[in-house]
Amino acid sequence: MLKREKYTVDLAPFLCLFIFLCFADAADVLPGAVLYASNPNQAWSSPNNDFSIHFLPISASTFSLCITYGASIPIWAPFAGEVDGKSSFRFLSDGNLRLINGSGAVVWESNTAHLGVSHATLENSGNFVLKNGSVSVWHSFEHVADTLVPSQSFGAGSVLTSGSYSFRLNRNGNVTLKWNDSIVYWTLGLNSSVNDNLINPTLFLQEIGILSLSDASLSRPVTMAYSSDFGEGNNPFRFLKLDNDGNLRIYSASKDSNTATVRWTGVRDQCEVYGYCGNMGICSYNATGSPTCSCPSKNFDLVDPSDSRKGCKRKIEIKDCPGNATLLPMNHTRFFTYPPETSSDVYILGITACRSNCLSGSSCVASTILADVTGQCHIKTSNFVSGYQSPTIPGSSFIKVCSPIEPNPLPPLEGAGDYKGWRLRTWIVVVLAALSGLLGLVIFGGIVWWSCFSSNPEFEGAYAQYILLEYASGTPVQFSYKSLRKATKGFQVKLGSGGFGAKGNVVCIVDKQLGDKFDIEQAMRVIQVSFWCIQEQPALRPMMGKVVQMLEGIMQIEKPPLFKASREDIGGASSICVSNSIRVRSAPCASEPALSSSSTMQPSSPSSIHMSSITRVDPERYVTPTLHVTLT
Ligand X SMILES: *[C@@H]1O[C@H](CO)[C@@H](O)[C@H](O)[C@H]1NC(C)=O
285 to each of 156, 289, 316, 391, 567, how far by Cα in Å? 35, 5, 28, 10, 30
Cβ–Cβ contacts within 10 Å for residue 620, how many? 8
State phi, psi for 414 to the nearest 5 degrees.
-95, -5
- Please tell me whether residue 61 binds ligand X under the rule CB under 6 A: no
The nearest distance, CB 195 to ligand X, in angstroms, is 4
Tell me, residue by residue from 320 to 339, as one string, x for binding to ligand X by CB under 6 A and - for no binding: ---xx---------------
- Please tell me whether residue 161 binds ligand X under the rule CB under 6 A: no
Tell me, residue by residue from 259 to 288, as one string, x for binding to ligand X by CB under 6 A and - for no binding: ---------------------------xxx
Bridge partners (DSSP) of residue 242 are 248
Q: How far apart are CA 584 and CA 600, in angstroms?
A: 8
Q: Which is nearer to ligand X, 215 or 569 (CB)?
A: 215
Report the residue number whose CB is nearest to ligand X: 189
Decide: helix, strand or coil at residue 77. coil
Tell me, residue by residue from 433 to 462, as one string, x for binding to ligand X by CB under 6 A and - for no binding: ------------------------------
Query: How many helices (H) and strands (E) are present in the chain, helices listed first?
Result: 13, 38
Q: How far apart are CA 299 and CA 317, in angstroms?
A: 10
DSSP string across 164-232: TEEEEE-TTS-EEEEETTTEEEEEE---HHHHTT-SS-EEEE-TTSEEEEE-TT-SSPEEEEE-TTTT-
Scan residues 186-245 and list those touching ligand X (CB under 6 A).
187, 189, 191-193, 195
The nearest distance, CB 487 to ligand X, in angstroms, is 33
Q: Which is nearer to ligand X, 69 or 186 (CB)?
A: 186
- Answer for which of 32, 40, 57, 102 binds ligand X (CB under 6 A) is 102
- Answer for which of 30, 80, 113, 115 binds ligand X (CB under 6 A) is 115
* Contact residues for 154 (Cβ-Cβ < 8 A; gap 6+): 144, 148, 160, 169, 202, 203, 204
Q: Which is nearer to ligand X, 71 or 135 (CB)?
A: 135
- Please tell me whether residue 304 binds ligand X under the rule CB under 6 A: no
Question: Both ends of the chain: CA-CA distance in Å?
Answer: 93
- Please tell me whether residue 158 binds ligand X under the rule CB under 6 A: no
Q: Which is nearer to ligand X, 84 or 519 (CB)?
A: 84
- Please tell me whether residue 538 binds ligand X under the rule CB under 6 A: no
Q: Which is nearer to ligand X, 89 or 453 (CB)?
A: 89
Number of residues that bind ligand X (CB under 6 A): 30
- Please tell me whether residue 174 binds ligand X under the rule CB under 6 A: yes
Decide: helix, strand or coil at residue 552. helix
Tell me, residue by residue from 123 to 142, as one string, x for binding to ligand X by CB under 6 A and - for no binding: ---------xx-x-------
Residues that bind ligand X (CB under 6 A): 84, 101-103, 105, 107, 115-116, 132-133, 135, 172, 174, 180, 182, 187, 189, 191-193, 195, 286-288, 290, 292, 323-324, 383-384
